[in-house]
């Protein structure tokens, strides 16, 4: 339980210490951290360490991945590529097992390092509003998923790079990332949506149409999702799950509030293309989240966009209208307090009841007895 608490408390303490003392922390020449940007760097370091050092018993899916790792590690290379479905992940298992180590703990730690590096790289592009980003990040469904879902974790990591490359107009590298993500996990094709999302330019005046579209999709979510299932189910039976309640309305309400905030407080004259794309991603994640209340598959498909929501919030807070700066500051303070308290309460409740999301509480290091 304590490591999860420290994940936010240490960055917050460092931020407030540097702000109050008006100091900077220099890691090396020409790279100094202030109270404004140290929180995100500290959080990403601690999060990376927790992923890399976690025990193979932490996370509901890790037992199954132990079996998968050994199966494909002992397979022939021809059988690995006998089917295209997620063949790159199978090859990854085979390569690690045969050329690096057959130890499953080594596999987990190395995969965690590979997974977290692109995420940390993209998040570090803008360290402003670092603590509120961190407090939102730990409350997103992707946070817990990264402790348990090795295969999709890798695909999401590549997806984050796909977003980065398309935002920089590096379309060849973006296309390569789309292919890699799709061969790692069957939901990786969702990264294709980054391309149109970088071209659309929603403005504040379009908010009414976005709300209208959201309302229509929400009202017809069961029918629309079942049509999608029927279309996609013919190629992969994992898409053919029937509609079921997943309790995702909380996230839907939260994403909706984020979307409204990012349209209301932003000065459109100060918004660059990168911020527009991230706001589009937030809109897309919100609308697609309506399907997550129908079936868990939709939540998995939405992970590629949910993980970028904290960055979108930070970008929008950088483009606030002058007359709404006080509202923005108040909103950031409220979000930081609320998400910190909610995360710590959730971890505490999981520890007390012994029931946690994907069996991730309490945190266990690999050197435990």
pLDDT, tens digit (0-9, with 9 covering 90-100), for 325-341:
999 999 999 999 999 99
pLDDT category at 222 given cuts 50, 70, 90 is confident
Q: Confidence class of residue 85 from pLDDT cuts 50, 70 and 90?
A: confident
Q: Is residue 218 included in any domain, yes or no?
A: yes
Q: Please report whether residue 259 resides in a domain.
A: yes
The answer as to whether 328 is a domain residue is no
Number of domains in the chain: 1
Owning domain of residue 273: 200-320
Cβ atoms of 141 and 251 closer than 8 Å:
yes
More confident residue, 30 or 333: 333
The pLDDT, as a whole number, for residue 359 is 84
Q: Is residue 282 part of a domain?
A: yes
State residue 310's pLDDT score.
96
Report the distance separating Cα 341 and Cα 318, nearest Å. 24
Q: Once rounded to an integer, what is the mean pLDDT over residues 41-59?
A: 93
Please state, in angstroms and rounded to a whole number, the distance separating the CA atoms of residues 181 and 98. Answer: 23
* Residue 310 Cα to chain centre, angstroms: 9
Strand partners, 237: none
pLDDT in tens, 100-136: 999 999 999 999 999 999 999 999 998 889 999 999 9
**Percent of the chain clearing pLDDT 90 (strictly above):** 66
44: in domain: no
> Predicted confidence band at 243 (pLDDT cuts at 50, 70, 90)?
very low
Q: Contacts for 59-63 with beta carbons within 8 Å, 24 or more apart? A: 59/147, 59/148, 59/149, 59/358, 59/359, 59/360, 60/148, 60/358, 60/359, 61/148, 61/149, 61/150, 61/358, 62/108, 62/148, 62/150
In a domain, 292, yes or no: yes
248 part of a folded domain: yes
The Cα–Cα gap between 309 and 126 comes to 14
Report which of 324, 317, 352, 314 is spatially closest to residue 125, judged by C-alpha positions. 314
Confidence band for 213, pLDDT divided at 50, 70 and 90: very high
Q: Which residues pair with 54 in a beta bridge?
A: 365
Mean pLDDT taken over the chain: 89
Q: Do 51 and 112 meet the contact criterion of CB atoms below 8 Å apart?
A: yes
- Across residues 4-15, what is the average pLDDT? 93
Short-list 109, 110, 124, 102, CA closest to 40: 124
Confidence of residue 181 (pLDDT cuts 50, 70, 90): very high
With a cut of 50, say whether residue 258 has pLDDT above it.
Answer: yes
> Is residue 329 assigned to a domain?
no
User: What average pLDDT score do residues 26-44 get?
Assistant: 77
């Amino acid at each position: 339980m304590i490591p999860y608490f420290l994940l936010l408390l240490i960055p917050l303490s460092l931020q407030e210490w540097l702000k109050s003392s008006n100091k900077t922390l220099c890691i090396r020449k020409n790279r100094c951290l202030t109270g404004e940007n140290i929180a995100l760097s500290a959080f990403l370091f601690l999060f990376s360490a927790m992923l890399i050092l976690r025990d193979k018993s932490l996370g509901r899916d890790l037992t199954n991945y132990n079996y998968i790792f050994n199966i494909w590690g002992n397979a022939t290379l021809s059988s690995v590529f006998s089917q295209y479905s997620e063949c790159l992940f199978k090859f990854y298992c085979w390569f690690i097992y045969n050329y690096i180590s057959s130890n499953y703990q080594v596999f987990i730690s190395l995969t965690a390092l590979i997974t977290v590096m692109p995420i940390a790289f993209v998040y570090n592009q803008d360290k402003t509003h670092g603590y509120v980003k961190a407090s939102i990040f730990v409350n997103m469904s992707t946070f817990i998923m990264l402790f348990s879902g090795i295969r999709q974790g890798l695909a999401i990591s590549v997806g984050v790079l796909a977003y980065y490359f398309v935002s920089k107009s590096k379309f060849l590298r973006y296309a390569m990332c789309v292919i890699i993500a799709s061969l790692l996990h069957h939901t990786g094709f969702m990264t294709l949506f980054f391309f149109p999302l970088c071209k659309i330019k929603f403005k504040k005046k379009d908010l009414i149409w976005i709300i209208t579209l959201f309302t229509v999709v929400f009202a017809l979510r069961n029918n629309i999702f079942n049509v999608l299932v029927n279309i996609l189910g013919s190629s992969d039976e994992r898409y053919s799950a029937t509609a079921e309640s997943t309790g995702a309305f909380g996230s839907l309400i939260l994403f909706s509030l984020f979307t409204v905030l990012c349209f209301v407080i932003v000065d459109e004259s100060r918004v660059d293309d990168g911020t527009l794309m991230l706001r589009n991603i937030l809109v897309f994640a919100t609308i697609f989240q309506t399907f997550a209340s129908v079936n868990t598959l939709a939540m998995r498909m939405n992970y590629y966009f949910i993980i970028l929501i904290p960055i979108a919030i930070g970008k929008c807070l950088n483009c606030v209208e002058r007359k709404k700066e006080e509202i923005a500051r108040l909103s950031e303070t409220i979000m930081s307090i609320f998400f910190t308290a909610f995360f710590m309460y959730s971890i505490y409740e999981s520890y007390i009841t012994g029931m946690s999301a994907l069996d991730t509480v309490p945190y266990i290091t690999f050197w435990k007895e």
